[in-house]
Structure 1
Amino acid sequence: MREYKIRGTNYKIRYNDFYGELTPIIFIHGLGCAGSFDYVEVASFLGVNHRIILIDLLGAGYSDKPLSFKYTVDLHVKYLKEFIEDLNLEEIIIFGHSLGGAIAIELCDLLSNRIKTLILSESNLDPSSYGSASFEIANINENDFDKSFEKKIAEYEESGNTMWVAALRNWLPKAAFEMSVNAVSGGEISWRNILYQFNFPKYFIFGEKSLPDADFEKLQEHGVIIEVVPNAGHSMAWENPEDFAKVIKRCL
C-alpha cells in the first residue's frame, strides 16, 4: 500500500497500486466501503495488463480520518484531481461504485481531457431517497450522534449485511454522515445530467438482483452502455467478484 499527501495539508490517502503497462484504472468506492476492502479480489480476476489503482477515500479504510475535513463529494473530487495530476496520469479509466460514482462523475467532468472511459456500478445519479443507506445515515440524530450511529450499524449487522458493516466500522462517522447528507441533497449540478453530456465511452453496471430498474432503459437512451453482473445485487464486488471482473473487462 502507498500513501499520498493531499496538497496544503498533512492528510494522507492510501491506495494499492498494481503494475500494468496499459491505461490506469482508478477505482472509487462507495459509502461505507474502501478500495482496499472491495476491489483487491476483483483486480486479481481482471486478468488485464492495466495499471490498477484502488483508493481508500479520506475518512475511510486505511486513509487518514481528520475531523476538520468537510466530507463532501466536491472536496473528495478536489484532492483526487490533484492526486491524478501529481501521479502524472495523462490518460485514465475511472470506475465508481454507488456514491463513489457521483465522485467519479464530477472527477471526469474536471478531467475530461484525460478520460478514456467511465465505468459506473449502480452509481448515485439523483438525490438519495427514503430506503437508501445514505438517506438513513443522513437522518441520524445529531444531538446523540455517536450512539445513534452505532445503533444504526448494529441494525445493519443484524440484517445480515456483515461485509458492509465490517468496512463501515472503519469509516470516520462524521465522514459517513456528511457524505450521506450530500447524497440526499444531490450535486450542485445533477450527476445524471453531467453523465449524459460526456462524449467518451460510458458504462453503467447493474447487479442482476437489482433489476428491474427504470434506469436500465433510460440510460441507454442517453448513450450509456449497460452491463449486468449475474448472481449479484448492489454489492457485486463481494457477491460475485469473478463475474464482476469479467463485466468490467468488457468495458475496457
Structure 2
Amino acid sequence: MIVPLIHGLGCSKDSFKDVWKFPEYEKYTVLAFDLLGFGNSSKPKDFSYTVEEHVEICKLAIEELNLERIHLVGHSMGGAIGLLLAEKIGGKVISFTNLEGNLVGEDCTLSREAIRYSLEDFETRAFQALKSKVSGTKELLGPTIMSQRLLYKWLSKSAPYAFYKSSESLVNWSDSGKLLRMFIDLDISKHYIFGELNRNSAVVRLLAPVPKTQISSSGHFMMVDNPQEFYRRLFRILSVE
C-alpha cells in the first residue's frame, strides 16, 4: 500500500521528514515529494500553479508510477490538493487523511496575506516581508520555535511567483465552500487531524460527522510540533483501513 504525503503552501517534502524514524511505516511505501514551485522541484514561470494543476501533476506521477491502493495524506494546501486528487483517481484511493487542509475561508492565513498585494509587489518586496513575519509570529504556526524556523527555511526554497499564484487559487477554492462539502461527502474512508491549539476552530465544529483526531501540544504543523504522537496516531488511522 502506498502513502503519498502532500505538503502545504510554501513548504516541502521535509514537512514529513520524521516519518522515516518510525519503523512501523515499513509496511507501507511512503512517497513524499516537492510540489512544483516549492522545495527542490522545478519552478517554471509558464506553469499556472492553480490547485487544479497541482492535482494534475500529482495524478500524472501516480499514473507514471502505476500506483494502486493509496492512502492519501495532505497537509494545509496539500489537503485541498489531496481532496481533489481523491475525486479524480477514484478507485485507486483507500483513504484520505486531511491534516488541517484548506476547507473554508478561515483556513487561509499566509495565502490570504499574500494576495493582498499585486503580483509585482509580492515578488519584489512582500514575499520577503512575509518570511520575516513568519520568523517572528509564533501564534501563526504552533507552540514550538521549530515550526517557525522550518517554515522560514521552506519559504526560502519557494518561488514567490508559485507561492502567489497558488495562494490565489487556494483562497478561491477555500472561499467557495466547495472543499468543505466535497470532504464531508467524500465516499471513502476519511479522517481529519488537527493540532490542539486549533481545537476551537470553526472548521472542527463544521466537521461533526467526520472522524477527527487531536494532536496534543501542537498547532498547524502538528507533525513537526509533536512527531511522536502524530505519526503513531496516523499509523493507527491507516492500519484500520
State the TM-score bracket (shorter-chain normalisation).
Answer: 0.7 to 0.9
Contact 1:128 1:184 survives alignment (8 Å): no
> Which ranges of structure 2 fall in alignment gaps of 5 or more residues?
139-147
Which shows bigger deviation, 93-102 or 146-155? Answer: 146-155
SS at structure 2 position matched to 1:220: coil
Contact 1:96 1:102 survives alignment (8 Å): yes
- Structure 1's consecutive aligned runs of 4 or more residues displaced over 6 angstroms after TM superposition are none
**1:113 aligned to 86, 91, 99, which one?**
91
Alignment CA distance shift 1:70-1:128 (3 Å) = farther
After TM superposition, the score normalised by the length of structure 1 is 0.84
After TM superposition, the score normalised by the length of structure 2 is 0.88
**1:74 aligned to 41, 44, 52, which one?**
52
SS at structure 2 position matched to 1:96: strand
Q: By percentage of residues, which structure has more strand?
A: 1
Tell me the distance in 1 between the aligned counterparts of 2:107 and 2:31.
31
* Cα distance, 1:199 vs structure 2: 1.8
Q: Which residue of 2 aligns with 1:42?
A: 19
* Cα distance, 1:46 vs structure 2: 5.8
Q: Which residue of 2 aligns with 1:59?
A: 37
Deviations along 1:115-157, one digit per CA (max 9) or x if unpaired, are 1010011110123577x11110121243433212112212222
Q: Which residue of 2 aligns with 1:227?
A: 213
Q: Which residue of 2 aligns with 1:31?
A: 9
Task: Note the aligned Cα RMSD (angstroms).
Answer: 1.8
Alignment CA distance shift 1:136-1:84 (3 Å) = same
SS at structure 2 position matched to 1:156: helix
Alignment CA distance shift 1:38-1:162 (3 Å) = same
Q: Which residue of 1 aligns with 2:116?
A: 139
Alignment CA distance shift 1:129-1:54 (3 Å) = closer
2:148 is the counterpart of 1:170: no
Tell me the distance in 1 between the aligned counterparts of 2:82 and 2:236.
19
Structure 1 letter corresponding to 2:163? A
Structure 2 letter corresponding to 1:220? A
Q: Which residue of 2 aligns with 1:5?
A: none
Q: Percent sequence identity over matched residues?
A: 30
* Cα distance, 1:249 vs structure 2: 0.8
Alignment CA distance shift 1:215-1:147 (3 Å) = closer
Q: By percentage of residues, which structure has more helix?
A: 2
**1:243 aligned to 225, 229, 232, which one?**
229
Pick 1 or 2: higher relative contact order, CA cutoff 8 A, min separation 6.
2
**2:82 aligned to 86, 104, 116, which one?**
104
Alignment CA distance shift 1:237-1:46 (3 Å) = farther
Contact 1:60 1:170 survives alignment (8 Å): yes
2:179 is the counterpart of 1:179: no
